[in-house]
Amino acid sequence: MTTTHIPMFAQVNKYFDKAAAHLDLPPGLLAQIKACNSVFRVSFPLKRDDGTIEVINGWRAQHSVHRLPTKGGIRFAPQVDEDEVSALAALMTYKCALVDVPFGGAKGAVRIDPGNYSVTELERITRRFTYELFAKNLLGPGLDVPAPDYGTGPREMAWIMDTFSTLAPGSIDALGCVTGKPVTQGGVRGRAEATGRGVYFALREACCYGEDMAAMGLAPGLDGKRVVVQGLGNVGYHAAKYIQEGGGVIVALAEREGAIYSASGLDVDAVVAHRKDTGSILGFSGARDIATSGEALELECDVLVPAALENVITGGNVDRIRAMIIVEGANGPITADASELLLARGTLIIPDIYANAGGVTVSYFEWVKNLSHMRFGRMEKRFQEHTNEKIIRAAEGLTGQMLSDTARRAATEAAGEEELVNSGLEETMVAAYAELRVIQKDRGVDLRTAAFINAIGKVASAYTQRGIFP
């Protein structure tokens, strides 16, 4: 699959303008909300393992500082540029507003293909980039808090946290300078899975409205829906896994090297194990190989989840897309023009700023945990379990019936950190979909426009209530 280079910030702003037309807000305020507040560009040297020096380029965009800290991932990708980082930062502003996460929007990027560097080189790149952000006051638990994105993960987040802690000795809230850390380094249980799990909740919510499904000729519920997922990284893997557990049939999975298809469904974990063993998704027993990842997008299916890259559904292939529901796991996988053509055909697009908001939601929980310096559930878990036990004993005394050991354990067990995080994530995704659907129906707009109407309205009221400095 080749990705067409399409200026991404202009795409986001097309969505913004479409939604803004439904809002009665002053043009100046809309222009301020839309503008990217600042972009930091940096070039720094990397001493490679062979002793040569290479110049590395990076960016950090803070799209909106109407709330602080700003929040957004750091990606390591070979084609990234300032326009893309600004667009992704803007999406973060709207995403945070939509799911009531109290942050402004930001995004960072380092223009490298991580596959071309050793682990020690990646560590030096990450630490130096962190230093550059720190030196410009662009990193800190109350300023700007990065997270993983395309090409980065918990390992890089731990390096960022360690570098920040070294540069800011005694900073008691240092752990909160970045999210997506390993659980043993201040991360929160459930963060790694959160974006993909959120994608699943988004799809589940969309499928539960019988009349919306009937309009597309589909039965209500996720059960038995044929699903194609592109990208088996953090978002795609977890989305595929939870969709499969939730009753969806994963008929195809696509990665860089190609795709595989099985009408009866693929076992996601077995495919991942096969890819780990052989280095490729292709050749999976019982599945048909498809030469390119792009072709998988065009397969006959009910649900398509592009969860790898931006601009994969464009004017060039939109006519061949057959899914009735598209869940944007990745940021910006559909161009604005292709999006309009799909909507005209009656396709339900669950937009990125809602569909992949599970990641920043749980990042928010991680940041709160870091500032509180205590794991969720530590204080109340046992108290809750003892209370449950007392209630059960009282009920047994009244009825003369005793619970089995298994039923007793299930009835007394209280939530630990992971259960609380998952509960908070589910509540966030369910509540946000319900809000979006009300706007969608009331205004007669598509879900993306409803999402932008919701988000712009919230950012506008923040500006209106706080006032404008000076």
The angle subtended at Cα 67 by Cα 65 and Cα 70, nearest 5°, is 60
Would you name the residues annotated as active-site residues? 107
- Applying CB under 6 A, the span of 122-130, 162-170, 202-210, 325-333 interacting with ligand NAD comes to 325-333
Of the residues 122, 232, 260, 321, which one makes contact with ligand NAD according to CB under 6 A: 232
Closest by CA position to 180, among listed 359, 10, 27, 30? 359
Q: Which is nearer to ligand NAD, 304 or 445 (CB)?
A: 304
- Applying CB under 6 A, the span of 25-33, 227-235, 367-375, 389-397 interacting with ligand NAD comes to 227-235
Q: Coil, strand, or helix at residue 225?
A: coil
Q: Helices in 228-267 by DSSP H: which ranges?
A: 234-245
Q: Measured between alpha carbons, how far is 310 from 155 in angstroms, rounded to an integer?
A: 24
Task: Kindly report the backbone phi and psi dihedral angles of residue 350, in degrees, each rounded to the nearest multiple of 5, phi listed first.
Answer: -95, 110
Query: Is residue 86 a contact point for ligand NAD (CB under 6 A)?
Result: no
Sequence-distant (≥ 6) Cβ neighbours of residue 211 within 8 angstroms? none
Q: Which residue has the tokens 């697009």?
A: 349
> Tokens for 270?
């077995």
Task: Kindly report the backbone phi and psi dihedral angles of residue 416, in degrees, each rounded to the nearest multiple of 5, phi listed first.
Answer: -95, -170
> Tokens for 55?
């110049």
Nearest-CB residue to ligand NAD? 233
Query: Is residue 328 a contact point for ligand NAD (CB under 6 A)?
Result: no
Query: Is residue 272 a contact point for ligand NAD (CB under 6 A)?
Result: no
Give the total of residues touching ligand NAD (CB under 6 A). 25
Query: Is residue 248 a contact point for ligand NAD (CB under 6 A)?
Result: no
Q: In the complex, what is the shortest distance from the CB of residue 180 to ligand NAD, in angstroms, rounded to a whole number?
A: 7
Q: Measured between alpha carbons, how far is 425 from 428 in angstroms, rounded to an integer?
A: 5
Of the residues 235, 323, 326, 455, which one makes contact with ligand NAD according to CB under 6 A: 235
- Within 177-196, the residues that bind ligand NAD by CB under 6 A are 195
- Applying CB under 6 A, the span of 132-140, 164-172, 204-212, 324-332 interacting with ligand NAD comes to 324-332
Entry field: residues in the chain: 470
**Do the beta carbons of residue 230 and residue 251 sit within 8 Å?**
no
Site string for ligand NAD, 335-374 (x = CB under 6 A): ---------------------x--x---------------
Q: Measured between alpha carbons, how far is 122 from 120 in angstroms, rounded to an integer?
A: 5
- Within 290-309, the residues that bind ligand NAD by CB under 6 A are 293, 307-309
- Within 118-177, the residues that bind ligand NAD by CB under 6 A are 148-151
Would you tell me which residues interact with ligand NAD (CB under 6 A)? 1, 148-151, 195, 230-236, 254-256, 293, 307-309, 329-331, 356, 359
